[in-house]
Amino acid sequence: MTDTLPPQYFGSKPPKRRFWPSFRAGLRRRCPACHQGKSFAGYLKIADHCDSCAEPVGNIRCDDVPPYFTITIVGHIVVPLIVYTESRYHPPEWLHMAIWPALTLMLTLILLPYIKGGVLGAMWGLDITGHEHQGGPE
């Protein structure tokens, strides 16, 4: 694996881990270490390494945290809108069924990759990068 890393990664000090800057870089889907390179290789697929500084981010496992936060955020946006719309305008049920599932799906698909980036950045900033499970005594 080390032969695939670019030369600037060797002999340099490890990147400084700070939670908030890493989290903010992650929300922009940028590398939590250098804040410049991409940390995603697709819509939700995390790249093996940053394409700018070669920080290995592929071992960071976000698991169910991004969907959990996405559901929480989208629910706190959509449910009050439903309650407000129903109490103020009393639209017919077919209109509810046309608007709210589509809005929920759209918000979820828009927010999920950015929230996953934020979780990735937060985990990197907290040094929960998966290296703790590699090698070493059992």
List contacts with Zn ion (CB under 5 A): 31, 33-34, 37, 50, 52-53, 55
Q: Toward Zn ion, which CB reaches closer, 55 or 112? A: 55
**In the block, residue with structure tokens 């929230």:** 115
Q: Toward Zn ion, which CB reaches closer, 49 or 70? A: 49
Q: Toward Zn ion, which CB reaches closer, 32 or 66? A: 32
User: 48: which 2 tokens?
Assistant: 């093996």
Least distance (Å) from Zn ion to the CB of residue 5?
12
Least distance (Å) from Zn ion to the CB of residue 57?
8
Q: Toward Zn ion, which CB reaches closer, 33 or 112? A: 33
Least distance (Å) from Zn ion to the CB of residue 33?
5
Gap between the Cα atoms of 107 and 132, Å rounded: 34
Q: Which residues of 38-59 are buried (b: 16+ CB within 10 A; e: fewer)?
A: ebbeeeeebbebbebbbbbbbe
Least distance (Å) from Zn ion to the CB of residue 47?
10
Q: Which residues contact 29 (CB under 8 A, 6 or more apart)?
A: 38, 39, 40, 113, 114, 117
What are the E-state strand segments in 1-138? none
